[in-house]
Amino acid sequence: MSLETFWFALVAVLFVMYFVLEGFDFGVGMLLPFLGRRSEPDGDKRRRLLLTTIGPVWDGNEVWLITGGGALFAAFGGWYATMFSAFYLPLFLILIGLIVRVVAIEWRGKINDPRWRAWCDVGIGLGSWLPAILWGVAFANVVRGIPIDAEHQYTGGFFNLLNPYALLGGLTTVLCFITHGAVFIALKSHGAVRDDAQTVAWRLAIPTAAVAAGFLLWTQFAYGKGWTWTLVAIAAVAAVVMVIGAYLRREGIAFAATCIAIAATVGLLFAVLFPNVLPSLTDSAYDLTVANTSSSHYTLVVMTWAAGIMTPVVLLYQGWTYWVFRQRLTIDRIPEAGGLPLREEVPVK
């Protein structure tokens, strides 16, 4: 295996890790207003429990995106440049969503004011729904290809990216992430929240499997190779197991299945793409490939040594974090809302 191929595979693995781990974070954020309804007496405690399920890990999960983006920039500068210029608006909106989500999660408990927390919940929802949709749209367009000229410049517009295949990709990621999040909440909680999450997971399981199956088959028939049927089969079996696990309320089995299904789906997108990294709809001669966008051999050698040293450290640390915070949560363990007092309650000196 050449270093170029190795780094293409490694970039794929980094994005697989990101979508599997950050996927349930997005799902929790999207489910926040549904599993923590304000009309319920314990609505605020429910929302805080949901955020606590991802509290120790959500920022660590985002490291995979930073690492994936950095690896893409360093190993395939031409791919990075063309893709980021072509997808400037979608990626900008994803970045805004992620920033708003980070700020909302971190600042939600800083002021003891229901209105403040309500606005933060809006930010968490926006920062979860927007990336969940746009990541699917972006990656589907990478597989489908975009108008690129001989100078590897994007010649289309924003609405070129909103084609039926890309929109189906966005719907697939939204449904997969929200189902993934519901199963994760059930796995991490006890009591009424767990029951409600299991119900949501079961209701979403079949629609999610159906939409994902449509996207997988479209991808395979339009862009796939003979051996990539293996990834389609793995994703299909995992989806069936997810549906059965959700029906039986076995969230452990269902969560493992959603992880495998998401990993196989993202792996399929990279597999059908190779050896291209960004096809050109203008002329196949203008395709961006692993060979014509990679960095120098020396750069890839240095990166390989750095990755070989640091990747096991990151995996061990993140695995340890999940192990330490493996316990289930209940509402009675969530303290009353605290933080800074309401502004009008601050005594005047």
Assess whether pLDDT exceeds 70 at residue 96: yes
DSSP codes of every residue in 97-140: HHHHHHHHHHHTTSB--HHHHHHHHHHHHHHHHHHHHHHHHHHH
C-alpha dihedral, 320 to 326 to 332 to 335, nearest 10°: 20
Is the pTM above the cut of 0.75? yes
pLDDT in tens, 282-328: 998 999 999 999 999 999 999 999 999 988 998 999 899 999 988 89
Residue spans of the domains in the chain: they are: 3-328
Q: Which two tokens stand for residue 124?
A: 């968490």
Q: Kindly report the number of other CB atoms within 10 A of residue 58's CB atom.
A: 20
Assess whether pLDDT exceeds 50 at residue 4: yes
Q: In this predicted structure, which of 38-52, 72-86, 288-302 has the lowest mean pLDDT? A: 38-52
Assess whether pLDDT exceeds 60 at residue 342: no
* Distance (Å, whole) CA 137 – CA 172: 9
* Distance (Å, whole) CA 102 – CA 91: 16
pLDDT band at residue 43 using 50, 70 and 90 as cut-offs: confident
Q: Say if residues 51 and 28 touch (Cβ distance below 8 Å).
A: yes
3-class secondary-structure state, position 145? coil
pLDDT band at residue 180 using 50, 70 and 90 as cut-offs: very high
Q: Say if residues 134 and 90 touch (Cβ distance below 8 Å).
A: yes
Q: Kindly report the number of other CB atoms within 10 A of residue 347's CB atom.
A: 5
pLDDT band at residue 334 using 50, 70 and 90 as cut-offs: confident
pLDDT in tens, 49-72: 999 999 889 888 998 999 999 999
